[in-house]
Chains A and B, each alone.
Chain A
Amino acid sequence: MVKNLSQEKSVICYAYRVYFGPNPKPTLFPVTIQNIIFLLVALAGIGLFVWQVRKIRANILVGRDRDMSGNVAERLQKTLLVAFGQQKMFKRITPALLHLVVYVGFLVINVEVIEIMIDGIFGTHRVLQFMGPLYSLLTGTNEILGALVLLAVAALWWRRNVKKVRRFSGPEMRAWPSLDADMILYIETVLMLALFTMNTADLKLHQLRNEVLPGAYPISSLLVGLFPADVTALHILERVGWWLHIVGILAFLNYLPSSKHFHIILAFPNVYYSRLVPQGQFSNVDSITHEVKAMMDPSYQVPAPAVGPDGSALAPTPFGAKDVNDLAWTNLLNAYSCTECGRCTSVCPANLTGKLLSPRKIIMDTRDRADEKYNSPLIFSPNLYGQEAKHETQEQLDRENHTLLRGYVTPEELWACTTCNACVEACPVNINPLESIIEMRRFLVLEESAAPNSLNVMFSNIENNGAPWAFSPSDRFNWADDLYVATKETGVSS
């Protein structure tokens, strides 16, 4: 029978025979009901994920337009260094190494997911084994990385739950964010254990049949002794491991949009679209530039106000940001890229000295508010979990000042910022909390005249004296009075 089949089919048939035993029923395509179920599960999982991603994309795009096109080479280079190369993670070596293991493990083990997908759909078994020695390299690397991932995950859990690294706590680390962080570690553990269950059972099945399982299994070969020497039980264990691994991955994929773990995707576009200008350069408000130019030069032509598709003038956008849609889309991309690691807050001078400001909270608030305002894009709204006490009534939710500013972020937080850029510098994925802080300060000052009184005094000093202090402009040059320089040449002797 076999000799009548093409080469590919013989490979499939071989795999099928390996899978079902030495005397398979002759068949051209070994698809079973199991494969059809798998196909449906995979399509549902991926489809649901795409649906969720589209919702988040829509949430990000409610932000104000900001042209981030161009400079492709520079942006790609930065993405390679900071996102792909983890450059900024290495400011802190211990978490950087632990994170690197999980990150590399994620990248490499996912090659095996391709195999699992093909096997799952076509009923093949370990379809990539045709690669020969390369397959051994792949499976062997996966096993070692899998074991390292388990160790790293354990160490990360220990840092979070036993050592209690300071930056993992704080008022914004409420019930959900804290649970989420541990959940990710638990899910990763289950995925790795499923992988080892699958490999070990497969390996033992082959040993019992005196056959050689293609590939290298340095870790599973140490575990075969722990597994029962029963073909049926091994068979079930292998299937359980296989299904748990792939269904786990699909479930995890759909968990991502509700989780800080979404950073594994958004870190890359977030770094790509991060600012290229010096960190000290704050954005210019062009609409104000037109006003100021018109004031200084009456002949200056202010551009016509923006019009909608029907030609009617659009409502003018406010100065600064009161709510999430007043921020730029890049600020909202920031919010969904945040992994809540707290490096920003841990270096914030205001937070370090006990002020209310926490840059991480600004970013998390922005995301939670976008979820709330734009009909949460997620299957469920875990970001708001544990926050119920904050929104007691619908009436409260509907109040006009239930916005990002005041509803989530208080002026006290905003005014504590020294604009030192430590948070910007610290973020491993180039999130910029400072931009959002300044946009909200602009709204407070320009739309509400709600600056602290001492700052209003400073403003009026600048307006009246040309200096932030109450000095007379006529004294500005007094520093130059009675000034001498010592000289070795002949001069006025002292």
Chain B
Amino acid sequence: MAEQLAKRPITVPLMANLAAAGEEPEILFWVGCAGAFDDRYKRVTRAFVQILEHVGVKYAVLGMEETCTGDPAKRAGNEFLFQMQAMQNITTFEGYGIKKIVTACPHCFNTIKNEYPALGGNYEVIHHSTFLQQLINEGRVGVSGGGEFKGQRITFHDSCYLGRANNIYEAPRDVLAALDADLVEMKRSKANGLCCGAGGAQMWKEPEPGKKDINVERTEEALAALDGNAAALANLNGVESGNAGATPAPRDAQQRSIIAVSCPFCMTMMSDGVKNKERESNVQVFDLAELIATAEGLSA
């Protein structure tokens, strides 16, 4: 049993129970609809909770009291529905006296942080990439030597609502740097990052007629960066000369590599893109929280 891990069950604390006991959590973990319902992203939610449990942060979730932030409604132009949702959530937050919210969804993050204040909801809102960065900086998550990801080639896909929308580019990269992996950048990264194609309520509709799906375009770029395929990178549209960074060293496309994401929609789009390019045998899409939880040996 030496290397057989012990595991302990987690009872995720509900805000209602804490409030009934007169307790106050350090953070409210906002799970979001994708984190609660999407099978793939539920694994991210669970990984993040494992990290919270591991470091001993006092947290709580709203459980069934949570409801959509209204982001997709607002982006689609349905301001009325957005405000109804926002008011309902603000009422919940105010009822519990919530001050600090952490979420793994950049869309929820952006909406609560930037758009709720106009409706009377003012909170400290932190995306989980920043939260994980803080845990690593404080030494509360060690990720000793990067664990199983040491030396693996990883490329990070910027989420629009984390990056351009809120200027968070370094936190997710700092988190990945802790893995001691072979981190490579796509040509269109950070402020120049290309959208996965799901934002602005595109997640819930078919794309307009065109030549290609956006997630395929982005996945091709990610694969070219992971493979160090200079020819494929040179053919990208929207990258003018003088705007292209270094090309990663070429490597065998059969080697295992990872596309890291920090958003549930990006997760869906990039995973579909990898399937479309028939590379799922060796290219995996992971959220930052999954990578950290795995490297820290918290999976159970």
Contact = CB atoms under 8 A, between A and B. Distances in A.
B232 interface: no
Contacts of A357: 208
A422 B166 contact: no
Given A347-B238, A463-B84, A484-B7, 17 more contacts: A279-B166, A282-B74, A346-B237, A355-B210, A421-B164, A422-B164, A445-B76, A451-B78, A455-B204, A455-B205, A458-B72, A484-B8, A487-B8, A489-B8, A491-B8, A493-B6, A494-B6
Contact of B7 (A92, A457, A491): A491
Nearest to B4: A494
Contacts, number: 287
A353 B213 contact: yes
Interface in B43-87: 45-46, 49-50, 53-54, 61, 63-64, 66-68, 70, 72-81, 83-85, 87
B195 A349 contact: yes
Listed from nearest, the 9 A-B pairs whose CB atoms lie closest are A280-B165, A354-B211, A441-B77, A419-B200, A466-B67, A354-B210, A420-B195, A93-B242, A281-B114
Interface string B77-99: 11111011101000100000000
B212 A415 contact: no
Interface of B: 1, 4-10, 12, 14, 31, 33, 35-38, 42, 45-46, 49-50, 53-54, 61, 63-64, 66-68, 70, 72-81, 83-85, 87, 91, 110, 114-115, 118-119, 160-161, 164-167, 188, 191-195, 197-214, 216-218, 237-238, 240-243, 297-300
B158 to A, nearest CB: 10
A289 B300 CA distance: 46
Contact of A492 (B6, B50, B193, B241): B6
A467 interface: yes
B77 A474 contact: no
A485 B211 contact: no
A442 interface: yes
Interface in A247-304: 277-282, 284-285, 288-289, 291-293, 295-296
A479 B199 contact: no
Nearest to B109: A280
B208 A487 contact: no
- Contact residue range for chain A? 35 or more
Contacts of B14: 477
Contacts of A94: 240-242
B94 to A, nearest CB: 13
A198 B106 CA distance: 61
Given A416-B208, A455-B201, A486-B297, A281 B5 contact: no
Interface of A: 91-95, 165-166, 277-282, 284-285, 288-289, 291-293, 295-296, 319-320, 346-347, 349-350, 352-357, 412, 415-422, 424-425, 438, 441-446, 451-452, 454-455, 457-459, 462-463, 466-469, 471, 473-480, 483-494
27 contacts: A95-B240, A279-B164, A280-B165, A282-B115, A289-B83, A296-B87, A346-B240, A347-B192, A349-B197, A349-B214, A416-B208, A418-B160, A418-B202, A424-B164, A425-B191, A455-B204, A463-B81, A469-B38, A475-B36, A480-B46, A483-B9, A483-B50, A484-B300, A487-B7, A487-B54, A488-B6, A491-B7
A415 B68 CA distance: 21
A190 to B, nearest CB: 29
A31 to B, nearest CB: 53
B60 to A, nearest CB: 12
A422 B214 CA distance: 14
Given A278-B167, A354-B211, A485-B53, A441 B7 contact: no
Nearest to B200: A419
Contact of A352 (B1, B199, B238): B238
